[in-house]
Structure 1
Amino acid sequence: MTVTGHVKTAPETTAQVLSAEQRHADELAFLAAYDDGARPPGWALTPRAVVTFIRGSDGEPLTLPAERRTGTLPATMTVAAKFVGERSLVERCVVTLAGERGLLLVGEPGTAKSMLSELLAAAVCGTSALTVQGTAGTTEDAFRYGWNYALLLAQGPTPQALVDSPVLTAMRSGRVVRIEEVTRCLPEVQDALVSLLSDRRMNVPELAGTEEGLIRAVPGFTVIATANLRDRGVSEMSSALKRRFNFETIHPIADADTETDLVRRQATAAVERAGAAYTVDDAVLDALVTVFRDLRSGRSDEGWDVERPGTVMSTAEAVQVAVSLGLSAAYLADGDALDLMPGHLLGVVHKDDQNDRARLLGYWDGPVRRRAEDGSAMWRRLWDLRESLR
């Protein structure tokens, strides 16, 4: 696809989104050779290398010992940070998995729980593909097994007719299985995990008396689950299931500059995947992140109180607004990006609660107006756009 102007040629790709192990294959291969220390059973990397893969090498190049160099690996590599969060949190997650205990990542929507889960699985066992997406319609088969009904009717219950779930596949191969949004599953479905996490075996009553009738987990098998704290439609976990997980809470990004940099990088990458150059001014991104942080916390940096909307003002939502601004500038040339921001913000805020529009207007009448009165040309322009929120 060829386009003109500042829009670039769309990159050739075979998939819209690559898995973590595909995106970072070079780093994973390098770290596997770089750190040859002790590894828990079934692990592709050492626990220390897993932490380095996720948190990065702090800008320092790592040098591969001469005796481990091959023609396919570079002599040095600087590992990029992929998750914004405390190193100690990542280390606790890694230690939990090394002990073959279930790990539950909890937090508000948009705090990168799923991304951290994917990165951990990719680094620990080389694949993040063994995943169950929890929904209200998820059945117990998703955690246990199903049947190939054609074979079942033709042969009866045989090992060949058994269809492994991602959980059962992970048990057989000693890998990590990811369960997204576990609290969206019904309680009776969740409880199928209790015996799997404690006994590390799965009974197949239909195959009783055969070798396949009792499947035991291979060393290395463990579970990473995620759960949102504020979403509707969730089911409470039983105390028995909670006891089988170590809980780690993923908080929103604390530092404004770090969050702005993350929004910029992810929005730039997304717009470039769409075949365009990212041209949104840094000052506009600063203002965008400031609005999100104020509405998320209920208080501005200046100390002014802000009424929080009912929706979650997550970093992930900020990235999507930044992407929309970038795509509008690239493909529509529809005015200044700052002029488009209020409309996109309203689209984020006004989802569930009818009063959230009024809360956003209240934010405009508070911090936006005060900053405009303090002489900021950008905030003055945003104040002038107040009517677009009605």
Structure 2
Amino acid sequence: MTDVLTGAAVQRPPAEVRYAGELTRLRASDEGAPRPPGWALSLRAARAFIVGDDALGVTRKFVGDPSLIDRALVSLATSRGLLLVGEPGTAKSLLSELLAAAVSGDSTLTIQGGAATTEDQIKYSWNYALLVAEGPSERSLVPAPLLCGMAQGRTVRFEEITRCPLEVQDCLLSPLSDRVMAVPELPGDAGMVFARDGFNIIATANTRDRGVNDMSSALKRRFNFETVFPIADFDTELALVESEATALLERSGVAAPPRRDVLEVLVTTFRELRDGRTARGDEMERLSAVMSTAEAVSVAHAVGLRGWFLNGTAGTAADLVSCLAGTAAKDNADDLAKLRRYLEQQTSWRTGEQWRAFRDARRELPGG
């Protein structure tokens, strides 16, 4: 726990630890500002934490429409939950974490949805040794994120909610509508947990997963839906990939920052394979694999690691081909063939050293 609080030797500390200094400055400047009951910051300060404030030295952490942040914060101040939907890799989870850190000062009350998620992982379970020895009691109760959030007045994050079975999702109905959770095993008043001020739920769902376990109409009515879109501007996406990849490489012990010309090839390739159209307007095949900004950052990180630890360089576009293979082959074997055709047909007319290296390395693809 000490390592988490200090960030020492932790691969990815939570937002409230990574940006503790910024949150401290925002709280100091936010004294006396009106804020919703139970919130750690006012809406204005919470917005500044996410979109940045140069005067206070607060960095921008989410690249997207600032009005989305405004709507999300207002939703969290109401009696409805917030559901962030969008394509995979559009930073829904990051935005959820930042919102929770700003509103509650704690982003760690997180439920990871999946086919195996059960109600006790969401609400509460029991210490069975104490349960057998003493029977049901508050001492033998093991609270899960939802119960903790309600009892402490904090924001609960529910990742990939549509990956959970419908009957598991619906355990949120009473906490969201009546703001209460029943623990029928406990006697008297202890058997009812009422939500304190500040409690709410932020859920995320991928549009590609919609229909896997679609939410019931009753649960949908208890959420405000907000769509997180991919980054539209090339330069903005390139800058984001560069900054995030540089930070990851530094943490991985790589002394050489990523090359800008290699990242230009990477981001261009991802955008074109994602959109099905080249920069000069040629129609082309889209990949079924997720070619998101988050995936581009991951590939840029892998290129830097490959170049530095294998060759002592910053990584080239030739390294990019090998790293792209694992991304393209995730969902459909045909995607490798589409990637090969892209390298053969859509790189021949481009100029520059890295585009030539990228094209010449197509033989490195599996089956080439």
Measured against the shorter chain, the TM-score band is over 0.9
Q: 1:327-338 to 2 correspondence within 5 Å?
A: 327-333=305-311, 337-338=316-317
Deviation at 1:98, TM superposition (A): 1.2
- Paired residue for 2:288? 310
For the residue of structure 1 that corresponds to 2:346, the secondary structure is helix
TM-score by length of 2: 0.93
Give me the whole-angstrom Cα distance separating, in 2, the residues matched to 1:259 and 1:50.
24
For the residue of structure 1 that corresponds to 2:107, the secondary structure is coil
Asked if 1:228 is matched to 2:206, the reply is yes
Asked if 1:121 is matched to 2:100, the reply is yes
For the residue of structure 2 that corresponds to 1:247, the secondary structure is strand
The letter of the residue matching 2:204 is T
- Paired residue for 1:32? 27
Identity rate, percent: 53
Q: 1:233-248 to 2 correspondence within 5 Å?
A: 234-248=212-226
Give me the whole-angstrom Cα distance separating, in 2, the residues matched to 1:103 and 1:151.
37
Deviation at 1:233, TM superposition (A): 9.0
Q: 1:181-192 to 2 correspondence within 5 Å?
A: 181-192=160-171
Counterpart among 253, 262, 278 of residue 231 in structure 2:
253
Deviation at 1:370, TM superposition (A): 2.7
- Paired residue for 1:385? 361
Is the Cα–Cα contact under 8 Å of residues 162 and 209 in structure 2 kept in the other structure? no
Is the Cα–Cα contact under 8 Å of residues 203 and 213 in structure 1 kept in the other structure? yes
The letter of the residue matching 1:330 is W
Deviation at 1:334, TM superposition (A): 6.6
Number of corresponding residues: 358
Give me the whole-angstrom Cα distance separating, in 2, the residues matched to 1:303 and 1:258.
20
TM-score by length of 1: 0.88
Q: Render the CA deviation track for 1:217-253: whole Å, top value 9, x for unaligned.
A: 1111100011111149931111111111111111111
Give me the whole-angstrom Cα distance separating, in 2, the residues matched to 1:232 and 1:218.
32
Give me the whole-angstrom Cα distance separating, in 2, the residues matched to 1:233 and 1:333.
45
Counterpart among 138, 142, 156 of residue 163 in structure 1:
142
Is the Cα–Cα contact under 8 Å of residues 109 and 231 in structure 1 kept in the other structure? no
- Paired residue for 1:359? 338
Is the Cα–Cα contact under 8 Å of residues 84 and 204 in structure 2 kept in the other structure? yes
Larger Rg: 1
Give me the whole-angstrom Cα distance separating, in 2, the residues matched to 1:166 and 1:279.
39
Asked if 1:19 is matched to 2:10, the reply is no
- Paired residue for 1:6? none
Give the alignment's Cα RMSD to 1 decimal: 1.7
Q: Render the CA deviation track for 1:297-353: whole Å, top value 9, x for unaligned.
A: 111221111211111101111111111111122222177512111111121111221
Give me the whole-angstrom Cα distance separating, in 2, the residues matched to 1:84 and 1:343.
29
- Paired residue for 2:44? 48
The letter of the residue matching 2:43 is P
Is the Cα–Cα contact under 8 Å of residues 134 and 181 in structure 1 kept in the other structure? yes
The letter of the residue matching 1:114 is S
Gaps of 5+ in 1: 1-11, 62-76
- Paired residue for 1:103? 82
Deviation at 1:196, TM superposition (A): 1.3
- Paired residue for 1:320? 298
Give me the whole-angstrom Cα distance separating, in 2, the residues matched to 1:334 and 1:32.
44
Deviation at 1:369, TM superposition (A): 2.0
For the residue of structure 2 that corresponds to 1:178, the secondary structure is strand
For the residue of structure 2 that corresponds to 1:163, the secondary structure is strand
- Paired residue for 1:284? 262
Deviation at 1:125, TM superposition (A): 0.6
Give me the whole-angstrom Cα distance separating, in 2, the residues matched to 1:84 and 1:95.
19
Deviation at 1:362, TM superposition (A): 2.1
Deviation at 1:381, TM superposition (A): 2.9
- Paired residue for 1:66? none
The letter of the residue matching 1:265 is S
